[in-house]
Structure 1
């Protein structure tokens, strides 16, 4: 068969099925030949590196072009999206706390995590975020600092609203060109997933996870509950219709890719493409998706609260209801400061531990446990975080569209009554 025809057929194929095939092949190869599985890590590393390389540039130009071209007084639905982000993250933290009380976990604490450092408190997290806003734009793009990228893109976009139409068109064309590059990178996701899965199975196998099976079940169970119960409820209250077709689409199209890349930042291009296919408002998703990769961290809130309370239960510390609620708030705020890369939420566990007077040495041992189970925990966490970015963006856009249609129908009814 013609190689060109094969390649074109691959590009037109169902990427979700291709990713699932890549995952299955990765498991088989790793089990048959661990050495070959570890060698396949190159494919996964190249794929994730490709996404991480293009995502900051794409986000910068998309947000700049979107805001520059936005008409004065236009509605981008961003206020609704941000409310949903914050509500969803806090609700997830509550679920994590509740799950920890219903199914308490105990840890066999391991050696401290070495040179790994964690923020000393919420103040330090917020201070870090503030400095990220004012980072040099070139350094922000090079380092993948999405807070800084968003700040500069928004500022430049607002400044360019008074630019000529030719300038705005040129920026839009650049954003479109980068988008086409992203589309090509995403099409090679099945090969990247093959490498990532083969490496994980060949390196850690399944035995290392059995010792923490209860903790993993609590973590993943809480995330599944949020994905299939809490988020659909929030979306239903927003759009007043069956949320599950949208929920399942986001989990399938965004969650699967995010599960293997284990990075909300790396999954930004995937989410932008999904929003485009869903026909959402570009002025909204070009800003809300990169913003969500930074502050919409439901999975991270669950990780922080569950692992924090696991340390509490291990040490026999009693927790009352007000303290549990305070932990939910701290977990939600801390999650908003979690990095958009693999394992970013684990370094915020000491924040939760400090609430109960647990010293940093013990807290960092809990972080080490998190890295051991990270093959599953971080993958599930990122899948929830990233798919929820699209879900809440879509919900806000659908609700806004329904409101406009309702207003239009009401106006038409009033006009008809006056005419009669």
Structure 2
């Protein structure tokens, strides 16, 4: 592809700016002509269809590869950091559940009313559904988008292949890399998909949809800031018995700001490694914990998955009891740990959480599409929270004596 070609400039351009342009053009198209908005809605349908097709494969490949290629004999010093990663991600999901109940938000989903849903009667019915979905045929699970079954089979195959030779593990890694590239390509087409989605939605609902987007974005931002400035400091204080805020502000300044603009935890690994060195941390520990955190410490992703899932639940007026909400926190935390390393990767795991409530993939993928619309801010802040927390928790456990 020639560097002066339009296609090269598009695929290497600023995705955030392109999405913003798509949103603005979509609003204008929906306002000017409903017929034109209806015509370009095919772009949104194709985009959602592509996401719907790749999401099951993405979850299966990423989770199985992560387990199969995980190094054996992780150092003992890493264990307390991993525990903090897991606790932090779970508390983020739980905080998001509480915030969503305090500030319930219903989204404007034009086609949701036409989709049949089977809301669970109680947590028992949810658990029964989960158990039956767990033992679904893996091929059938992939075909039908049964994300619970996909997750279980991915874990099983990953564990089984964990003891295979390096050549086999390299095949897993290469497949994961290939699937990630496909996801990256689809996400690069987001401006066109969002243009069609916004045009169609705006033509049908007017400013109501945009207002709901703004409300859900405020809830996401507020919850993530609460995690960054309340939950994380509490965790650090309990661990270190010292004032956590100097460390918190240092990590926000030198890690979160960079991650906000790169929107990639993986791309921020060198920044975090350098920050750990400046903080005089144990190199043998942070050289493992930082790359590991970039793929498993996902507080921001847990917030995104939980908040958007409960927005879908509130939209469809599905009742949720406390035990089911707690189960959602666990599922969201586990799903977040398997979030893809590309921009918007956590959004593709929303159908997994939605399946707990009997919400169809058709509705769940509409919510995913909304996530891409607000992802200009949401994904940047999510990455900033994820990446800076890697250093915060590492510094809480790996200070040189």
Tell whether 2:141 aligns with 1:124. no
- 8 A Cα contact 2:286 2:398, kept in partner: no
User: Aligned residue for 2:223?
Assistant: 222
Aligned partners of 1:96 and 1:386: how far apart in 2?
Answer: 19
Aligned partners of 1:327 and 1:227: how far apart in 2?
Answer: 21
How many residues are aligned here? 282
Tell me, what secondary structure is at the counterpart of 1:124?
helix
Q: 1:138 to 1:358 in 2, by over 3 A?
A: closer
Please show how residues 91-102 of structure 1 align to structure 2 within 5 Å: 91-102=91-102
Aligned partners of 2:153 and 2:272: how far apart in 1?
Answer: 29
State the shift of 1:349 in Å.
0.8
User: Aligned residue for 1:140?
Assistant: 173
User: Aligned residue for 2:107?
Assistant: 107
State the shift of 1:140 in Å.
2.8
Q: Which runs of 5+ in 2 are unaligned?
A: 1-7, 16-69, 113-141, 163-167, 179-190, 199-206
Aligned partners of 1:269 and 1:210: how far apart in 2?
Answer: 38
State the shift of 1:143 in Å.
5.7
User: Aligned residue for 1:60?
Assistant: none
Aligned partners of 1:258 and 1:117: how far apart in 2?
Answer: 35
Q: 1:211 to 1:75 in 2, by over 3 A?
A: closer
- 8 A Cα contact 1:264 1:386, kept in partner: yes
Q: Which runs of 5+ in 1 are unaligned?
A: 1-37, 46-63, 146-198, 406-420
Q: 1:274 to 1:126 in 2, by over 3 A?
A: farther
State the shift of 1:247 in Å.
0.7
Q: Whose Rg is larger?
A: 1
State the shift of 1:262 in Å.
1.3
Tell whether 2:379 aligns with 1:378. yes
Q: How large is the RMSD of aligned CA atoms in angstroms?
A: 3.6
Tell me, what secondary structure is at the counterpart of 1:84?
helix
State the shift of 1:40 in Å.
9.6
- 8 A Cα contact 2:106 2:212, kept in partner: no
Deviations 1:113-149 (A, max 9, x none): xxx999632442354366567554377379659xxxx
User: Aligned residue for 2:246?
Assistant: 245
* TM-score normalised by L of structure 2: 0.62
Aligned partners of 2:177 and 2:275: how far apart in 1?
Answer: 21
